[in-house]
Structure 1
Amino acid sequence: MQPGIRTPEATIKHRHPVPLNALRAFEAAARCQSFQVAAGQLFVTPAAVSHQVKRLEAYLGVTLFQRGHRTVELTREGAALAASLGELFERLDLALDRATAATTADLRVSTVESFAAKWLAPRLHRFHRTCPALKVRVETGNAHADFANDGVDVAIRYGPGAYAGVAAARLMEAPVFPVCAPALLAPGAKPLAAPDDLRHHTLLHDESAAGHAGVPDWPAWLAAASATRVDASRGPVFASIYLAQEAAVAGHGVALGVAPLVEEDLRLGRLARPFQHALDNPHAFWLVHRHGADANPAIDAFCRWLRQEASGDARAAAAGP
């Protein structure tokens, strides 16, 4: 053999003849801590998952689960293997994402209804102009995105951050202030010149602040504005910011607007801002995806566009009216 020339035999690395289906079944069972839940994710029966795990245990010569009555618990060896496999399967998923990025034309985006309707939808045409071959599918819901099993590529969430096991970056701050239909400020309408004038108007509430310490609600805003003559409990309660905001647009009262979600309606004159006082919000809008997912050109392009749009909104807000 000539120096520096490697034969095919020399490049072959030793590989364990490990049963790959068994590894996949074990990783799912370890992640779910349940053979039954893992079976549902893999579209097989719990008995099939159990069989594959036993097959892997026989191959390795170690016990991976302590089995109880309808319960399973990882052994020390099982926990160590599960941690390594979780990382390996994550890297495999990312490698497959990169391999298919050149041929895929779909990008699945998960976000909350209010953000989709009030911020993303009015701007999405600008992304399509820059990336016309990429089809964006927008899905709404409040649950955390399951990047491993639901096929979601990018999520935008409204919350405190600190999302475990994923890459999360603050996209936009979310200060809160009152908004209403312009008709409520027109000559001849009920007074709305000072915060205490809100006693003449219906307060529109949403549930986004419920159970979240520090997230501004009407009692917090009225207290900060020194409005002592207003009953903060009055008015209907809506299940989402979006519904409360739409009620305000329709002239049914005054809502607390979250800045990024009311920017378009303020610009178009569908809403007006009766008072400039705003409250800081511990919740913000976060850009969330799997670790390393921005190596996928489609995900990277969409995330860069989101950040550019968000920074443009921030510059406009700083400039003022």
Structure 2
Amino acid sequence: MDSFRNNLPPLDALIFFQAAARCGSFSAAAREMRVTQAAVSKRVQRLEEWLGTCVFERKGRSITLTEGGQAFANDVHLALEFLERAVSRFKAEEEGLIRVASTSSMSVFWLQDRLKGFALSEAASPVNVTTSDDMNALTAPELDLTIVYSDGPAPGWSGVQVMAGELAPAAAPDVAAKAVEAGAFGDHWQPGSCPPLLEYANLTPDWINWSIWLRRLGLPALAEWPVMPCSSFGQSVGRAMSGRGILLANLDMLRSEFAAGHLIRIGSRTLSPRKSYYLCHRADKPLSSAARRLFDFLISAADQ
């Protein structure tokens, strides 16, 4: 397919021609476009050279469209209107689009429900979400907002804490009862009868899994417990709710699962991580009105 560059004259030549055709003179077109008459005349002449024919009949300072020029002017007007609508539509979508990134666990268990609420609100605007546990992806320059697990806003970003979250054992009701009966996480632990711990690999050095939690609380090492490996935190939550083992739960992140009775906390031992979740925006770039609405909405919904 031939390129538009080879088959079409320069865009500015078409724009100047359309203005001259609509205004009926080079002088009027020049005033409208805030350029000199010579600038209009020169671009129209270049268009005629490119076309290989005249589009205007010139009689002194007056100009009249040729028959072919009139038909061409009508088509050019329609084409420019179509192009203008396409640009306006794209700009409106881009200006209203909010680009958000979040860690995988926060995206699934915290952000999605709140984005649904935002979409149903009067403040709604299109949102594009990137889910990642890679800090580079979470702080990409094109983002408007990001949720990071850190001891403060990411460098170059401003933000507020939206979740701390103590970490504690939890399970489905029947599994939780068995764990309590076995003395799990207490002074009378019976390893043979304890349900398995749902363990997953650390995605980042800051993440706390069962191995770290047990060590920091001075409990028997993970090797002494029955363990069911999981591929992710999310999978460990799913398996816990289906009664397959004991989850290391973020009590704030899984608040709705606890409220619904899908999970029951086991014992009273907790660990408060040094890091927490922050909703951030770039410090050196003002938020768009749409991004500001979402930021404010998420802050107001942080404790819900």
TM-score (norm 2): 0.58
1:261 partner SS: coil
Return the offset for 1:256: 0.6
Contact 1:184 1:192 in 2 (8 A): no
2:227 partner SS: coil
1:116 partner SS: helix
Separation in structure 1 between the aligned mates of residue 203 and residue 282 of structure 2, nearest angstrom: 27
Could you say which residue in structure 2 is the equivalent of 1:118? 109
In structure 1, runs of 5+ residues without a counterpart are 1-99, 314-321
1:207 to 198, 201, 205: 201
Query: CA 1:121–1:234 in structure 2 vs 1: closer, same or farther (change >3 Å)?
Result: same
Could you say which residue in structure 1 is the equivalent of 2:281? 289
CA RMSD of aligned residues (A): 3.1
2:144 to 110, 129, 153: 153
What amino acid maps onto 1:270 in structure 2? H
Could you say which residue in structure 1 is the equivalent of 2:175? 184
Return the offset for 1:167: 2.3
Separation in structure 2 between the aligned mates of residue 230 and residue 198 of structure 1, nearest angstrom: 14
Could you say which residue in structure 2 is the equivalent of 1:301? 293
Q: Deviations over 1:20-67 (max 9, x none)?
A: xxxxxxxxxxxxxxxxxxxxxxxxxxxxxxxxxxxxxxxxxxxxxxxx
Separation in structure 2 between the aligned mates of residue 293 and residue 280 of structure 1, nearest angstrom: 33
Separation in structure 2 between the aligned mates of residue 270 and residue 282 of structure 1, nearest angstrom: 27
Question: Counterparts of 1:20-169 in structure 2 under 5 Å?
Answer: 104-131=95-122, 133-143=124-134, 144=136, 145-148=138-141, 151-161=142-152, 163-169=154-160
1:252 partner SS: coil
Q: Are 1:235 and 2:193 matched, yes or no?
A: no
1:289 partner SS: strand
Return the offset for 1:108: 1.8
Query: CA 1:133–1:221 in structure 2 vs 1: closer, same or farther (change >3 Å)?
Result: closer
Contact 1:160 1:284 in 2 (8 A): yes
What amino acid maps onto 1:306 in structure 2? L
Aligned length: 208
Separation in structure 1 between the aligned mates of residue 101 and residue 200 of structure 2, nearest angstrom: 21
Separation in structure 2 between the aligned mates of residue 147 and residue 204 of structure 1, nearest angstrom: 32
Query: CA 1:291–1:266 in structure 2 vs 1: closer, same or farther (change >3 Å)?
Result: same
Q: Are 1:265 and 2:257 matched, yes or no?
A: yes
What amino acid maps onto 1:112 in structure 2? T
Separation in structure 2 between the aligned mates of residue 304 and residue 122 of structure 1, nearest angstrom: 15
Separation in structure 2 between the aligned mates of residue 250 and residue 208 of structure 1, nearest angstrom: 23
Separation in structure 1 between the aligned mates of residue 121 and residue 96 of structure 2, nearest angstrom: 14
Return the offset for 1:159: 2.9
Separation in structure 1 between the aligned mates of residue 190 and residue 199 of structure 2, nearest angstrom: 13
Q: Deviations over 1:110-133 (max 9, x none)?
A: 112211111112232222232454
Could you say which residue in structure 1 is the equivalent of 2:67? none
What amino acid maps onto 1:129 in structure 2? L
Query: CA 1:258–1:137 in structure 2 vs 1: closer, same or farther (change >3 Å)?
Result: same
Query: CA 1:289–1:232 in structure 2 vs 1: closer, same or farther (change >3 Å)?
Result: farther
Return the offset for 1:142: 1.3
Could you say which residue in structure 1 is the equivalent of 2:34? none
Separation in structure 1 between the aligned mates of residue 224 and residue 154 of structure 2, nearest angstrom: 32
1:236 partner SS: strand
Separation in structure 2 between the aligned mates of residue 189 and residue 174 of structure 1, nearest angstrom: 22
Instruction: Please say which structure displays the higher CA radius of gyration.
Output: 2
1:123 partner SS: helix
Q: Are 1:195 and 2:185 matched, yes or no?
A: yes
Q: Are 1:255 and 2:247 matched, yes or no?
A: yes
